[in-house]
Amino acid sequence: MNFGKIYALGLRHIYLISNSLPRIIDLIYWPTVQIFLWGFISKFFTLSSDYYSNTVGIILTAAILYDFLFRVSISFNMMFLEEIWSRNFTNLFIAPIRISEIITSLTLTAILRALIGLVPAAILAIPLFGVSVFKLGLPLLLLLLPLYLFGVTLGLLVTSGLLRFGPSFENIAWASLFFLAPLGCIYYPIEILPYSLQIVAKGLPLVHIFEEMRNILLNNTVNYFDIIKSISISIVYFILGVIIFYSSYLGAKQRGTLINMGE
Amino acid sequence: MFIQIKNLSKVFKKNLAVDKINFHIEKNKTVGLLGPNGCGKTTSIGMMLGLIKPSEGEIMIDNKNLESFKRDDILTRINFCSPYIELPKKLTVKQNLEVYGRLYGVKNLSERILEISQDLDIKNFFKRKTGELSSGQKNRVSLAKSLINKPEILLLDEPTASLDPDIGDFVRSYIQEYRSKNQVTILLASHNMSEVERLCDSIIMMKKGKIIDKGTCNEIVKKHGRNNLEETFLKLARSNDELR
C-alpha cells in the first residue's frame, strides 16, 4: 500500500468538496433535515407511547446512526460516480494506483464526507431536542464501526454494479439502502417482523446494531457479545464486497468497459 | 525492440475487434496508428494500457510481458492523452496536476508542475476550474497531465481532434520539441494525416481489426501510387481487399 497515492485520490475528493460551497451545504443539509424530521417524530412518540416514554432520544439516535450508514454508503458511491460523470474514469484506471489503494482511499474519504454532514446535525440535536448521541460514549464508537464497514460494503456492491452494468446502474445506487432498511429494524424491534423475515434480518449486521442501541438506551447496559457479533458479520460482508469488486473489475477489463465509461 | 505486439486479438462477445495484429516500436520512435473509425485502434491502445484484457496474444515491453509487470510499476512508465477522456471538471488546473502528480509518484512535484505549465503555456489559467476552460486549453491541460510523470511510453489518441489550426499546430510543435528533448516512445492514433506525416517515424494502417499495411509514410504513399498520405488512407479505407 502506498499511502501517498491513497492520499492523492482522497485529495481529489477533498478539493472537490472544498471548491464548492453548495456541495458543502448539500452534505450538511440532508442530515440536518433528517434530524429535524425524526426529532419532531421522536418528540411526538415520547409524549404518546409507553414504550418510548423513558427514553426520549431512542428514535433520534436511531435516525442519526442510520444516517451515518446512509452517508458512508452514498459517499462511497458518489465518489465513484464523480469519476464517471466527469469522464475521468479512464485517467484513474490508467494511473499507477492499485485497486486495493482505490478501495482504501474511497473507504477513508467516505467517512470524512459522512462526518462533515453528520457531526453538525448531531450537535444540533443537543439543544433542539435534548438528545446527544455522544452520551453513548465508547459503545457509540463500537456501534459506528460495523455501520461504517457495512456502509462501505454496500458502496462496494453498488460500485461493482457500476463496473458491471455501466452508468445505468446509478439508480440502484440511490435505492440500495432503502431496500435493506425495512430488514434493518432501525426504528422497531425485530419481533415486529414476520418470523421468516426475522431469520433473514439476523443475517444482517443492522439488526444487531440497532437492537443493541435500544438495549443501551432502554436498559443502560452494554451487551458486548452482540456488538462483536455485528462487527463480525460486517467484516464477512466487507470481505465479500471486496471480492465482488475485484471480480467486477476483472469482468470490466474483459468487456472493455473501463476505456469508455462515461455519462 | 521496446514495444512488441505479438498476435494480439480481442473479441467482444462475437465481435472480433482486433485480429492477430503484430508490430513493434523501437525505443524513442513515434509510430502512427491509422485506420477508419471502428478499425480497432482504441481497443489496441486500451490493451496496451491494461484497461482491456486481450483475448489472445502478448504485449511485450522491454522484452517482458505486460501481464507480468506489477500494475503500478508499469503504469508509472506510461501515460495517455485523449480528448475523449477528461480531468475532473470541478478541480482547478493546478489541483488536477497536483492530484495526478501524486498518483504518479512524481518527485519534486511543484517544480515539475511549474516546468510543464510554462512549456504548455497553461500557467495563466492555473486557478481556473478545468471544466470552465476552452477546448484548446483543456487539451493542453490534458497533455500536461499525460506528461507529468515524464513517461517512457506515451499513447496519444487523436491529441489535436477538435482544435483550431493554431492550437493544433502548437500541440504538434510541442510534441515534436518534447520528443527531441526527452526519451519517449510514442504511439499516435490520429485521423489527421498531415499530423501523422509531421510527427511519425513510421505508420501502421488498420482496417476491420487487422493491420493492412505498415512502413514509413513515404514508403506507403509510394507503394500505393498516391501523392500523399491522405489519398493513400482513402484508398486503403475504401478498398475491399486487405493488403499486406
What is the torsional sign of CA B13, B16, B18, B21? positive
Answer yes or no: is B187 within a domain.
yes
B211 and B166 in a single domain? The answer is yes
Reported as a pLDDT band with limits 50, 70 and 90, residue B5 is: very high
Of B69, B140, B83, B8, residue with least CA distance to A96: B69
In-domain check, residue B204: yes
**A132 pLDDT exceeds 50?**
yes
Where are any strands of DSSP class E within chain B?
A: 3-12, 15-25, 30-34, 56-61, 64-65, 78-81, 153-157, 185-189, 202-207, 210-215
Residue B244 has pLDDT above 50, yes or no: no
pLDDT at B163 over 50: yes
Strands, sheet with B202-207, edge to edge from the N-terminal-most edge strand? B78-81, B153-157, B185-189, B30-34, B202-207, B210-215
C-alpha distance across the termini of chain B, in Å: 21
Q: Per residue in A143-155, pLDDT tens? A: 999 999 999 999 9
- Long-range contacts of range B103-111, CB-CB < 8 Å, 24 or more positions apart? B103/A5, B103/A8, B103/A9, B103/A95, B103/A96, B103/A97, B104/A95, B104/A96, B104/B76, B104/B79, B104/B148, B104/B149, B105/A2, B105/A4, B105/A5, B105/A96, B105/B76, B105/B149, B106/B148, B106/B149
Measured at the CA of A55, the angle between CA A191 and CA A128, to 5 degrees, comes to: 125
Boundary-marking domain end, from B119, B150, B181: B150
My answer on whether B59 and B115 are in the same domain is no
pLDDT at A64 exceeding the cut of 70: yes
Q: What is the pLDDT of residue A53?
A: 59
Domain membership flag for residue B123: yes
Do B206 and B144 share a structural domain?
Answer: no
B95, A15 Cβ separation under 8 angstroms: yes
Q: Among the three residues B94, B119, B150, which one is the final residue of a domain in this structure?
A: B150
pLDDT in tens, A82-115: 888 888 888 999 999 999 999 999 999 999 999 9
Q: Average pLDDT for residues A212-238, to the nearest whole number?
A: 91
Q: In this predicted structure, what is the pLDDT of residue A60?
A: 86
Residues B233 and B125 reside in one and the same domain: no
Q: What is the pTM of this model?
A: 0.89
Query: Touching check for B104 and chain A: CB below 8 Å?
Result: yes
A38-52, A154-168, A187-201, B80-94: the lowest-pLDDT one: A38-52
pLDDT band at B227 (very low <50, low <70, confident <90, very high): confident
Average pLDDT of the segment spanning B208-213: 92
Does residue B91 sit in the same domain as residue B143? yes
Question: Which residues from chain A sit within 8 angstroms of residue B75, using beta carbons?
Answer: 94-96
Q: In this structure, are B124 and B244 located in the same domain?
A: no
CATH number at residue B51: 3.40.50.300
Provide the pLDDT for residue A13: 92
What is the structure's pLDDT at B115? 92
At residue B206, the pLDDT reads 93
pLDDT above 70 covers a percentage of chain B that reads: 98
Residue in chain A lying closest to B143 (CA): A91
Would you say residue B130 lies in a domain? yes
Kindly list the residues from chain B whose CB atom is less than 8 angstroms away from the CB atom of residue A93. Answer: 51
Residue pair A184/A233 in contact by the 8 Å Cβ criterion: no
Provide the domain count of chain B: 2
Model confidence over A27-44: pLDDT tens digits? 899 889 988 888 888 778
Residue with cell 466487507: A238
pLDDT value for B1: 58
Q: Print burial letters for A53-74: b (CB count within 10 Å at least 16), e (below 16).
A: eebbbbbbbbbbbbbbbbbbbb
pLDDT value for A263: 52
Q: Is B127 on the interface with A (CB under 8 A)?
A: no
Q: What is the ipTM of this complex?
A: 0.88
At residue A58, the pLDDT reads: 83
Which value, in Å, is the radius of gyration of the alpha carbons in chain B? Answer: 18
- Same-domain status, B120 and B168: no
When scoring B67, B99, B107, B138 by the number of chain A Cβ atoms within 10 A, the one with the most, hence best to mutate, is: B99
Q: Quote the CA–CA distance of B223 and B217 in Å, as a whole number.
A: 10
Report pLDDT digits (tens) over B109-154: 999 999 999 988 888 999 999 999 988 899 899 999 999 999 999 9
How much is the pLDDT for B14?
84
- Whether B146 and B73 share a structural domain: no
A86 contacts B89? CB cut-off 8 A: yes
Which domain range does residue B221 map to?
14-77+154-244
Residue A46 has pLDDT above 80, yes or no: no
Question: Looking at the domain assignment, is residue B7 inside a domain?
Answer: no
Mean pLDDT of A38-54: 73
The answer on B160 and B136 residing in a single domain is no
Q: Is residue B231 part of a domain?
A: yes
Do both B172 and B210 map to the same domain?
yes
Q: Give yes or no: residues B164 and B62 share one domain.
A: yes
B50 touches chain A (CB under 8 A): yes
| Residue A133: per-residue pLDDT | 84
Is the pLDDT at A54 greater than 60? The verdict is no
B42 pLDDT more than 60: yes
In-domain check, residue B2: no
Would you place residue B243 in the very low, low, confident or very high pLDDT band (cuts 50, 70, 90)? very low
Is the same domain home to B138 and B20? no
Asked if A86 and B50 come within 8 Å (Cβ–Cβ), the reply is: no
How far is residue B131's CA from residue A100's CA, in Å, rounded to a whole number? 29
Q: Are B141 and B99 in contact (CB under 8 A)?
A: no
In a domain, B70, yes or no: yes
Condensed to tens digits (0 to 9), the pLDDT of residues A167-223 reads 888 777 677 777 788 888 888 889 999 999 999 999 999 999 999 998 888 888 889
> How far is A244 from chain B, CA to nearest CA, in Å?
18
Q: CB neighbours of A23 closer than 8 A, spacing ≥ 6? A: A16, A17
Band (pLDDT 50/70/90 cuts) for residue B70 is confident
By Cβ distance, the residue of A7, A97, A258 closest to B72 is A97
User: pLDDT-derived band of residue A128, with 50, 70 and 90 as boundaries?
Assistant: confident
Residues B59/B48, Cβ–Cβ less than 8 Å: yes
Q: Which chain A residues contact residue B76 at CB under 8 A? A: 96
Check if the beta carbon of residue B84 is closer than 8 Å to that of residue A5: no
Nearest to A227 by CA among A136, A153, A134, A157: A136
Domain boundary among B134, B150, B166: B150
